[in-house]
Amino acid sequence: EDQVTQSPEALRLQEGESSSLNCSYTVSGLRGLFWYRQDPGKGPEFLFTLYSAGEEKEKERLKATLTKKESFLHITAPKPEDSATYLCAVQAMDKLSFGAGTTVTVRA
């Protein structure tokens, strides 16, 4: 069974304080690893897809990396608008299995 574990559960940052979120996974036949952002009361919003170990993707202050066992989402110099829950998901076959998420709060 696919397993996705995200840590930490919650992260409180000062504006400008860079940090990383971890997503470790166990899946048979990884077809892709996805990062989504979810704001309170909203549906998840797609950020990145990573397909193979060593791959990196960047978007504004966010950078996602992938190894054979885990993925990291690096937040560089975060701003209050980066506050959200970040969800990691793995694709095996034709569905995504999500982790529980990391809730990031960035204080001004």
- Degrees, nearest 5: CA angle 74-42-75: 10
- Of 4 and 104, nearer to other proteins (C-beta) is 4
Binding string, residues 34-73; x marks residues near other proteins by CB under 8 A: x-x----xxxxxx--x------------------------
- Of 77 and 93, nearer to other proteins (C-beta) is 93
Rounded CA separation 5/71 (Å): 10
Q: Say if residues 38 and 46 touch (Cβ distance below 8 Å).
A: no
**Interactions with other proteins, residue window 2-31 (CB under 8 A):** 4, 31
Q: Say if residues 22 and 83 touch (Cβ distance below 8 Å).
A: no
Residues in touch with other proteins (CB under 8 A)? 4, 31-32, 34, 36, 41-46, 49, 87, 89, 91, 93-101
